[in-house]
Structure 1
Amino acid sequence: MDPSLETPRLLLTPLTLGDVGTLRALMIDPDVRRWAAEGRVLSEARVRYLTLRSLATFQRHGTGAFGLRLRAGGAFVGYAGLLPAHAPEGGLELGAGIWPRYWRSGLASEACRAVLDDAFGRLGLARALACADAPNFRSLALIARLGFRQIRTAPGTFGAIRWFVRERP
């Protein structure tokens, strides 16, 4: 079964090892990494490991990280997906990152909605988690638009990390 997804503007396909270079370029962009990977510049080896982890998550859970490409022209926009959460309660955590030139276009919302709809529908996932650093207003606004509710706050690299949950509708 092909886990690829489509939205009006995007094609979402599972990240592969062929995406490592493009994904690393996105992840080391100063505006993107500001809130990702605790602000560190990720090595190619680390991005390769994360991609392999995503592929394993697809095998185990039927979902993982998707590469986002524009339907018109095929440009790589970023990624979105559900991966094992780094939270005491476990489960799958929504994550996303897109190139700054696509910020404020609604593409992150569009991609995350597709990922959540697929997980709650096709996979029957009962709930999904999300988190963001308290100063990361863009991610917090996206999480709110997606219908998550806050469940706790924990210490993090940039101050407080706010954790959220969304149950299957």
Structure 2
Amino acid sequence: MPVLDTPRLTLRPLTLGDVGALRALLIDPDVRRWMCDGLVLPEATVRGMIQESLAGFRRCGAGLYALHRKEDGAFVGYAGLKPARIRGLELAAAVWPRYWRQGVAREAGEAVIRHAFDGLELPRVLACTDAPNFRSLGAIVRLGFRPLVNTPGAFGVIRWFVRDRPR
């Protein structure tokens, strides 16, 4: 399973040892406002997410990564590729609010996208967010995605975006 590096982060595949840290992130009120349809996920659900991710790495080389700061090893969030509700793989990410507005999500997203195109040779990567989630919308646009389609979601409209592999 690949480990990805950026100037400030090490991205390593999530393992079952990360269940507690990932669940804590996903149930944080500021994070869950838009993640997981706003639900407080039980530990078993988070464990299942990680097991699905590990299976994805084994099957096709794509899954979810724990993001750790190189500076101090702190867990700052996760990012990676997961099966999309529409056909393809989507970029998924969440970062602790204390790291918002520091470019961490963008740095991790760029590493995942680079791996998707250069390592996995995917033709495209998808991304989505609930229409009112302006932070995610901004991050998706800054990562070079373009609008694709809208679908119904828990908070109204889910906006889907695509980024094609460079030629």
Which residue in 1 is equivalent to 2:93? 96
Q: Residues 9-158 of structure 1: matches in 2 within 5 Å?
A: 9-87=8-86, 90-158=87-155
Shift of 1:60: 1.1
Query: Which consecutive unaligned segments of at least 5 residues does structure 1 have?
Result: none
RMSD of Structure 2 on Structure 1 (CA): 0.6
Amino acid in the other structure paired with 2:30 = D
Amino acid in the other structure paired with 1:139 = S
Q: How many residues align?
A: 166
Q: Distance in 1 between matches of 2:106 and 2:42?
A: 28
Q: Percent identity?
A: 63
Query: TM-score if structure 1 supplies the norm length?
Result: 0.97
Shift of 1:86: 1.1
Amino acid in the other structure paired with 2:100 = W
Shift of 1:61: 1.4
Contact 1:3 1:63 survives alignment (8 Å):
no
Amino acid in the other structure paired with 2:106 = S
Shift of 1:65: 0.3
Q: Distance in 2 between matches of 1:68 and 1:144?
A: 21
2:137 partner SS:
helix
2:78 partner SS:
strand
| Further displaced range: 146-155 or 9-18 | 146-155
Q: Distance in 1 between matches of 2:93 and 2:110?
A: 11
Structure 1 stretches of at least 4 aligned residues deviating more than 4 Å after TM superposition = none
Amino acid in the other structure paired with 1:40 = L
Question: Which whole-Å deviations, capped at 9, do the CAs of 1:37-95 have from their partners, x for residues lacking one?
Answer: 000000000000000000011011112100000001100000000011111xx110100
